Amino acid sequence: MSRKDRKKRKKKPRKHPHPTTRPDNTTPTQEQTASPNTDTEENRHQDDLEPPEIPSYPFQPPSQKATSFHEHMDTMRLPLQRKGKPSKTSVEVFAPIRPLHQIFFFSFLFVGMVLFFGSDLLTLVKFPFASNMLDMNGVQTFLNVQARGLTTLLASVITLCAIAIPLTANNYTPKLISLFVNNPINQGMLALLVVSCILTHITLLTIQLPGTSHGPEVLGVGILSTLCFGLIIPYAFFVFRFLQPEMIISHIEEAILKDLRRAETLEDKQALAHKREYIVQDLKYLSNIALRSLERRDRDTTLLSIESLRNVLDHYFAYKQSMPKDWFALSNVNFLCQSGEMKRQIQASNTFIEAEVMAEYALLLDASFGKLQDVVRMISESMRHIGLEANEYNESKVLEMTALYFNSFLRRAISKRRPEAIYMLAYHYRRMGEEMLSSNPERTIKVAFYLDYYGHQAVRSGMIYVANLIAYDLAEMTQKAFTEEAPCKDTLFDIFVHFDQDEKMKSLPGVIKSHIKLATTLESIGAHEYVKTLCQTLSTFPQHALAQAVHEIESVKHPLYWEITDRREHMDYIPPHLQAHFQRITQKIHERHL
């Protein structure tokens, strides 16, 4: 796509679905994942399993131009802020800097002081202008009190910052120090204290010079000291709120978005390279916050950091099309842990920001195994979200990178023998493919092929119960393709039918029940030729396993599973309007066996 075409496409208004609430579900454990819909205990320890042959499928579905993005999104997504508008980060709404109750408190305090000390305050206001008629010792006493108070106040503020900031930075990220120093509120408060102290001491030193009137200076000292003492408590509240982890994440995210807006207008290569390095470093800071929080089992901060990385990519997709060409040039310090071949692929596809975020997700995924399962869920959901955003922006290279990392995540979960991670990764991977049925059927076919491939890899590793899960996912994709009359439905059907070619997989209950459920759905829409193929496949399964599978399906009367899972719907549930078709399918299976 040429740069002119990208600029034209950029002006097209973009519609976003309304954000919805993400279900806060608990991931099933290894035992829960395997039951009641997977396999029996005797199938869990077949380490001498022969590796199945991986079928190869041609990725040549009927050609169709990509259409607008599927607007059905059930994940919690923040609306994308366009350039030129003030950007709201994901956590600003949870931590306002100046709460309303603080304003009311200090307003009532000021009114009470005026009512109680009314006459004394009036005398104090007149005191500096009448100082030439008063004893000079009284003026010096007043200035000495102000000087000592302001010096003590400045020392207290510096001590507070010197202790609280490094301790918090040590727990989360050293980026906090630069954020605190560069914040205009901190700079203004410290400047006010320093100027007040200097003015007070200068006035105190020059008060005895002959022929000078210091009424305005003394009045200024009184006003500044009153302002400093009046602001110290709100400022302390601001500092403590600034050090909260959600505010730290928010400030880093704001810094990244600000650098993106500036980089869009830069033309100097060196300045653009520096800005790129700042952004990549800030992305690493967000990941480090998640890693350190993960070590302390700080669930909320970890999830906020993961979501912030996703939000950065949401905004970056809007800026990317108008970035200068030199923006996509990698330096020697980028991706130090990646191979040269991987670096060249990232360079050629212009996906270094996306690859950086996904690389941080990979690091967090490895660290989360055995600690916080919600991290795996959040990463899986974020990867699906990124893939769908890339599909909407026609970023085919980013979509390819998303699939690359999704596959790597599945491989790591299999090698670590984490069935709960496979459960969540396969679910969100499948959902990503389903939501591209109309707009990108080629990608849907590839997702189905990858699920088929890693299902067989899990079987090779002795985790044959994972095959039940993958069979359900492939059946769901195929069922939705037929329901929506997707152009890739035939290819998806072939992938599903060839999934159970291994003899040891034919006795798995999940594989059998997924065939029966898909045949029931296809029977209801009149796809009789496909039903015939499924019944022929089912006739090759053991008769006792078929009878047990039919009995288990018939025993499920409620659509929701009785435990908290991501999928919620019971995999074996047959809706009432499909019960008659289910009976016909079971009858056909019985007749074939006879």
pLDDT, tens only, 555-578: 888 888 777 777 777 888 888 888
Question: Is the same domain home to 178 and 271?
Answer: no
CB of 137 closer than 8 Å to CB of 228: no
Q: What is the pLDDT of residues 477-495, one digit of tens each?
A: 999 999 998 999 999 999 9
Question: Could you read off the pLDDT of 233-275 as tens digits, one per residue?
Answer: 888 888 888 988 899 999 999 999 999 988 888 888 888 888 8
Q: What is the pLDDT of residue 412?
A: 93
| DSSP assignment letter at 8 | H
Q: Which amino acid is residue 410, in one-letter code?
A: L
Do 275 and 217 belong to one domain?
no
At which of 389, 404, 435 does a domain end?
A: 435
Q: Is the dihedral of CA 538, 543, 545, 551 positive or negative?
A: positive
**Domain-embedded: residue 214:** yes
Q: How many CA atoms lie within 13 A of 436 on its CB side?
A: 30
CB 522 within 8 A of CB 534: yes
Residues 286 and 420 in one domain: yes
Same structural domain for residues 257 and 347?
yes
Asked whether residue 272 falls in the same domain as residue 327, the answer is yes
Domain shared by 317 and 231, yes or no? no
Average pLDDT over residues 454-481: 89
Which among 41, 34, 53 has a CA at the least distance from the CA of 422? Answer: 34
Q: What is the mean pLDDT of residues 24-39?
A: 40
What gap in Å lies between CA 532 and CA 528, rounded to an integer? 6
DSSP-assigned beta bridge partners for residue 569: 560
Distance CA 349, CA 343 (A): 10
Predicted pLDDT at 507? 76
Q: Does residue 569 sit within a domain?
A: no
Query: Is 43 inside a domain boundary?
Result: no
In a domain, 234, yes or no: yes
Question: How high is the pLDDT of residue 119?
Answer: 52
Domain count, the chain: 2
Chain segment 329-344, per-residue pLDDT in tens:
776 656 656 666 777 7
Residue 92 has pLDDT above 50, yes or no: no
Q: Would you call 95 helix, strand, or coil by DSSP?
A: coil
Q: Is residue 19 part of a domain?
A: no
Domain boundary residue among 404, 435, 466? 435
pLDDT digits (tens, 9 = 90+) for 495-520: 998 887 766 677 788 888 999 999 99
Structural domain includes residue 356: yes
The reply to whether 77 falls in a domain is: yes
The neighbour count for residue 159, using CB atoms within 10 Å, is 10
**One domain, residues 152 and 222:** yes
Residue 53, Cα to own-chain centre: how many angstroms?
Answer: 37
594 within some domain: no
- Averaged confidence pLDDT in the chain: 77
Cβ-based neighbour number of residue 109 at 10 Å:
12
Same domain, 140 and 170: yes
Which of 435, 460, 475 is at the close of a domain?
435
Q: Is there a single domain that holds both residue 392 and residue 253?
A: yes
Contacts of 525-528 spanning 24+ positions with Cβ under 8 A: 525/482, 525/483, 527/482
My answer on whether 176 and 306 are in the same domain is no
Q: Which domain range does residue 256 map to?
A: 71-89+246-435
Q: Does residue 206 share a domain with residue 253?
A: no
- Residue 282, number of CB atoms within 10 A of its CB: 21
* Residues 376/402, Cβ–Cβ less than 8 Å: no
Phi, psi of 19 (to 5 degrees): -65, 140
Closest CA to 368 of 426, 455, 461, 298: 298
pTM of the entire predicted model? 0.73
420 and 382, same domain (yes or no): yes
Of 85-99, 131-145, 568-582, the poorest mean pLDDT is in 85-99
